[in-house]
């Protein structure tokens, strides 16, 4: 079960700074270049990740690839998995999704968390969840969304701090370099909608906390807090139209 989720960010691309639009356009070019390289090398940004445990069948809850993909020096981590085949588990049907994180060592001193794990390692810190990227059964990205704290076992921080942490999502990884590059670029291409989604997440959290001050972040009946469709073609058109003006 999920609470009603808004998925209608109203982004005025023409009001965005030109330098931001150019950065988004460059990232879109990088995403396309990754896909072209993957096609040339007969690879796939998702299928290659799922085949990391061949010949085992795809297993719910299992992280792909095993051990996740992370760069401790840069402070980023990602993995792919699926929670449930039950269509009621979230507001849309999917194959699975990538979870993207940054280590809390990048959080500014003095920023108070919204919620922490039940037994946080206060000495070593943990992971702050950025967003998740959902894929359909054809292996096509379909949606970007945010989640309640328990879903990703994260150290949850306010939207404005998570928005700042988006810039720290970067990885050096040889085996899954194409997937990592695609994910890094995706955060840049859809930056305005992601910022909206994180702020919308906080708005929903505030309402949840009013009703349940102690247990809002651990309510397993509430998983997705905000989302928006992943439409690269429409995003590129909007960017180019804004730049042309």
pLDDT at 240: 97
Of 142, 139, 146, nearest in space to 230 by CA: 142
| Structural domains of the chain, count | 1
Residue 1 lies in a domain: no
Q: Among 54-63, 125-134, 139-148, which stretch is predicted with the lowest mean pLDDT?
A: 54-63
Residues 6+ apart with CB under 8 A from 38: 44, 45, 178
Residue 155 lies in a domain: yes
Q: What is the Cα Rg of the chain in Å?
A: 18
Which has the higher per-residue pLDDT, 224 or 84? 224
Instruction: Report whether 105 contacts 155 (CB < 8 A).
Output: no
Residue 177 lies in a domain: yes
Of 231, 120, 108, 240, nearest in space to 167 by CA: 108
Q: What's the CA gap between 135 and 92, in Å, rounded?
A: 11
Residue 5 lies in a domain: no
Percent of the chain with pLDDT over 90: 75
* Residues 114-119, mean pLDDT to the nearest whole number: 94
Average pLDDT over the chain, rounded to whole? 91
Residue 138 lies in a domain: yes
Residue 222 lies in a domain: yes
Report cis status (omega within 30 of 0) of the bond before 38. no
Residue 43 lies in a domain: yes
pLDDT at 92: 66
Starting from the edge strand earliest in sequence, which strands make up the sheet with 64-71, in order? 64-71, 76-81, 96-103, 127-135, 141-147, 224-229
Q: Which domain holds residue 146?
A: 19-238
Q: Can you name the residues that pair with 80 across neighbouring β-strands?
A: 64, 98
Please calculate the CA angle 219-221-223 and round it to the nearest 5 degrees: 85
Instruction: Report whether 93 contacts 142 (CB < 8 A).
Output: no
Alpha helices in 57-190 (DSSP H): 149-152, 159-165, 177-189
C-alpha distance from residue 166 to each of 39, 47, 50, 90, 139 (Å):
28, 25, 25, 24, 24
Binned at pLDDT 50, 70 and 90, residue 137 comes out as confident
Q: What's the CA gap between 1 and 231, in Å, rounded?
A: 26
Residue 78 lies in a domain: yes
Say yes or no to pLDDT of 1 above 50. Answer: no
* Residues 111-131, mean pLDDT to the nearest whole number: 95
Q: Among 126-130, 221-225, 229-233, 236-240, which stretch is predicted with the lowest mean pLDDT?
A: 221-225
For the stretch 16-55, pLDDT in tens is 999 999 999 999 999 999 999 999 999 999 988 888 765 5
Number of H helices, E strands in the chain: 7, 6
Q: What's the CA gap between 180 and 133, in Å, rounded?
A: 13
pLDDT at 209: 95
* Tokens linked to 114: 């919204």
DSSP secondary structure string, 151-177?
HHT--B--HHHHHHHGGG-----STTH
């Amino acid at each position: 079960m999920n609470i009603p989720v808004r998925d209608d960010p109203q982004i005025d691309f023409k009001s965005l700074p030109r330098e931001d639009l150019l950065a988004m356009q460059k990232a879109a070019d990088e995403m396309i270049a990754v896909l072209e390289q993957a096609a040339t090398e007969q690879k796939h940004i998702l299928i290659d990740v799922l085949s990391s445990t061949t010949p085992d069948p795809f297993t719910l809850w299992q992280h792909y690839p095993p051990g996740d993909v992370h760069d401790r020096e840069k402070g980023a981590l990602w993995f792919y998995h699926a929670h449930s085949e039950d269509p009621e588990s979230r507001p849309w049907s999917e194959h699975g999704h990538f979870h993207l994180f940054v280590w809390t060592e990048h959080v500014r001193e003095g920023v108070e968390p919204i919620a922490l794990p039940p037994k946080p390692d206060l000495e070593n810190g943990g992971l702050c969840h950025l967003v998740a990227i959902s894929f359909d059964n054809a292996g096509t990205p379909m949606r970007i969304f945010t989640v309640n704290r328990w879903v990703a076992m994260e150290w949850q921080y306010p939207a404005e701090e998570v928005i700042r942490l988006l810039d720290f999502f970067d990885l050096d990884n040889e085996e899954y370099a194409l997937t990592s590059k695609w994910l890094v670029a995706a955060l840049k291409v859809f930056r305005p909608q992601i910022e909206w989604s994180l702020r919308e997440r906080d708005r929903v959290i505030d309402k949840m906390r009013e009703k349940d001050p102690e247990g809002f972040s651990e309510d397993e009946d509430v998983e997705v807090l905000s989302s928006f469709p992943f439409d690269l073609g429409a995003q590129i058109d909007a960017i180019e139209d804004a730049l042309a003006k």
